[in-house]
Amino acid sequence: MFFEKTCKRVIYMDIQQIESFWPFLQRFAVDLVVAFVILGIGWTVSRWLGNMVQRLSARSEKIDPTIIPMFRTVVIWSVRIFTIIAVLSQFGVQTASLIAVLGAAGLAIGLALQGTLQNIAAGIMLLGLRPLRVGESVTVAAGISGTVDEVGLFLTRIVQADGVQVTIPNSTVWNGTIINLSRNHNRRMDIPAYICYGDDVNRAIDVLLKLIDEQPGAMKMPAPSVFVGDRKDGIITLTLRVWASADNFFNLQNDLNREVPMRLKEEGFESPSPLRVAVQAVDSNNQNGAK
């Protein structure tokens, strides 16, 4: 009899516990289903947005192809992180605290990798805005000149005219002045020429303009010109301003630097040399003693 009552009491207690636990199971099952739905939608949307960003970026000529996969990855995981936070909040997790922890961790990592992150940010700007591209002749920070060999997320590599490869952090390149010598189709060169005091300046200008006109690489428009510059030390400086295409620039510059003094000499203009005045110091004591 006692055993029967005990069994009934235990069964009754189990039924009560199950009945009290049943609402929790129902809520948990609903939350689980909703979480899976949110997770599935978030993952699908992240892939869709990532692919859309990739397609739109590929159509734009202003975005470097090397940076498109990174854009896609950033978009995908940004959506997925928010999706995971939404799933955790579905189970009662305090997302505000989680976001604060993630923010603090991100701040600590950012401070530890400050220089690296600056290079990455600068690399993104260089790849996105493209002030310099592979194969272009540039002058960047610290006066480094040469041909761009590589532009990456962290570093930019430039090969100088002497064949030496220079590796520069992207932050240094981005924060400095970038002079691109290849971007414009036409460039102007300034070639100096020198004549002596007393020479016919107008005749020298005519000789130089004729020399420019004989150069096949010199552009007719804008028209070439010769200007009179400094007059000092017995030398008159003339400056030839000539426009040429970027492809012919260095060849024409080299030809004119070589031919200008030769043509002036052929036309009777002497090569000037700076005037030197010798001043002899006289010892007044010796002069007085001699007297």
Instruction: Report the pLDDT averaged over residues 219-237.
Output: 83
E strands present in the chain: 137-139, 145-151, 155-159, 165-169, 179-180, 186-196, 225-232, 235-245
Instruction: Give the model's pLDDT for residue 10.
Output: 47
Tokens of 75: 């978009």
Instruction: Assign 65 a pLDDT band (cuts: 50, 70, 90).
Output: low
- How far is Cα 191 from Cα 106, in angstroms, rounded to an integer? 56
Distances in Å between the Cα of 82 and the Cα atoms of 39, 85, 95, 130, 285 are 10, 5, 10, 32, 96
Instruction: Give the model's pLDDT for residue 2.
Output: 46
- How far is Cα 16 from Cα 95, in angstroms, rounded to an integer? 34
- How far is Cα 215 from Cα 249, in angstroms, rounded to an integer? 12
Cβ 67 vs Cβ 124: under 8 Å: yes
Distances in Å between the Cα of 100 and the Cα atoms of 16, 103, 106, 245 are 41, 5, 10, 58
Cβ 183 vs Cβ 171: under 8 Å: no
- How far is Cα 172 from Cα 138, in angstroms, rounded to an integer? 14
Instruction: Report the pLDDT averaged over residues 217-246.
Output: 85
Instruction: Assign 19 a pLDDT band (cuts: 50, 70, 90).
Output: low
Q: Burial level of 20, CB count in 10 A (0-12/13-18/19+)?
A: exposed
- How far is Cα 285 from Cα 183, in angstroms, rounded to an integer? 70
In the chain the domains, ranked by start, together with CATH numbers, are 2-111 (1.10.287.1260), 133-180 (2.30.30.60), 186-266 (3.30.70.100)
Look up the pTM and report it. Answer: 0.54
Q: Is the pLDDT of residue 1 over 60?
A: no
